[in-house]
Amino acid sequence: MMAVKVTSILIYPIKSCRGISVSEAPLSSTGVRWDRQWLVVNSKGRACTQRVEPKLALVQVELPQDAFAAAWKPTNTSYLVIRAPGMDELKVSLCRPSQTCDGVSVWEWSGSALDEGDEASKWFTNYLGKPSRLVRFNEELETRPVEPSYAPGPGFRIMFSDGAPFLLVSQESLDSLNERLEEPVPINRFRPNILVDGCEPFSEDLWKEIRIESLTFSGIKLCSRCKVPTINQETAVSASEPTETLMKFRLGKDLCPGKKGQGMVFFGQNMVCHDNLHEENGKIIKVGDPVYVLKTFSSYDETST
């Protein structure tokens, strides 16, 4: 067994907005607690992401410091604080809103969500320059399962993530990419939840099963990358890199000939956790936790894309 270390844990409360780096985080049945729990939608209820609204990269979010304690519950004075250039600070109560919004869609999923109200709607409408609303995933009424062809078995769910509860990337993979770039890029271009250190570059591609503390995770799908890695997260300006360089050595046709996604680039591993993750169980991952690689795929032919 090979020991690796967790070096960063990153959470993105609002999909496509800036992430939060934490030293430890409780896990839930949909991933890291608070991850992609909120979503900005347009006038038709469709998800707004950096793919079409790169300005979302500049939206900073803040949660109460205690929000990452396992047993913490929000009170009437608990807020999600949202900031962006040229905008007044917005505070969104963490207590469950009473309004709902029907017809919310993200990729293949559609359903109802909790509406964070007119003040939040006005804030994002002014910031993006088009009618927008902020919604929260409605866990009491809605379920969004992970695609069963990738994660067969009961209970694998997500909120507004693209497709999996966890995304893991190694520092060595980022370093290997940066050695090929004229201007290195930071890890925030790839928006992982778990960054690890201490392995060979891209070895996480072949991790079939790992353990972090007492929790068992399975790699279910190599992460295909969209436009977002080309967007500078400090300026919201898009360029050709790092995708142009990734296309030289991380294309599907080179990694997994014959599988779907031949023209896509891959970076990172999508994962699910096999443990029964409920908030009351108090299961937490921490920076510094050892990562044990228990099983590996023998080749890229065995992986999913």
Report residue 251's pLDDT band, with 50, 70 and 90 as the boundaries: very high
Contact 61, 20 (CB under 8 A): yes
- Predicted confidence at residue 280, as pLDDT, reads 53
- Predicted confidence at residue 278, as pLDDT, reads 58
pLDDT of 20 above 80: yes
Report residue 218's pLDDT band, with 50, 70 and 90 as the boundaries: very high
How confident is the prediction for the chain on average, in pLDDT? 94
Q: What is the mean pLDDT of residues 108-114?
A: 96
pLDDT of 282 above 80: no
d(CA 42, CA 45): 5
- Predicted confidence at residue 28, as pLDDT, reads 87
Report residue 114's pLDDT band, with 50, 70 and 90 as the boundaries: very high
d(CA 38, CA 79): 13
Of 62-71, 80-89, 237-246, 289-298, give the lowest mean pLDDT range.
62-71
118, burial (CB in 10 Å: exposed 0-12, middle 13-18, buried 19+): exposed
Nearest to 272 by CA among 166, 139, 115: 166
Residues of the chain with pLDDT > 90, as a percent, come to: 88
Q: What one-character-per-residue DSSP string does 2-37 give?
A: EEEEEEEEEE-SBTTS--EEESEEEEETTEETTTT-
3-state secondary structure of 128: helix
For residue 45, which phi and psi values (nearest 5 degrees)? 80, 10
> Which pair of tokens denotes residue 288?
């510094």
Contact 272, 221 (CB under 8 A): no
Cis peptide before 97 (omega within 30 of 0): no
141, burial (CB in 10 Å: exposed 0-12, middle 13-18, buried 19+): exposed
What pLDDT digit, counting tens, does each position of 53-91 carry? Answer: 999 999 999 999 999 988 899 999 999 999 999 999 999
d(CA 155, CA 275): 10
How many Cα atoms within 13 Å fall on the side-chain side of residue 97? 21
What pLDDT digit, counting tens, does each position of 144-198 carry? Answer: 999 988 987 767 999 999 989 999 999 999 999 999 999 999 999 999 999 999 9
> Which pair of tokens denotes residue 33?
């607690």
Pairing of strands 166-170, 157-158: unpaired
- Predicted confidence at residue 277, as pLDDT, reads 62
pLDDT of 3 above 90: no
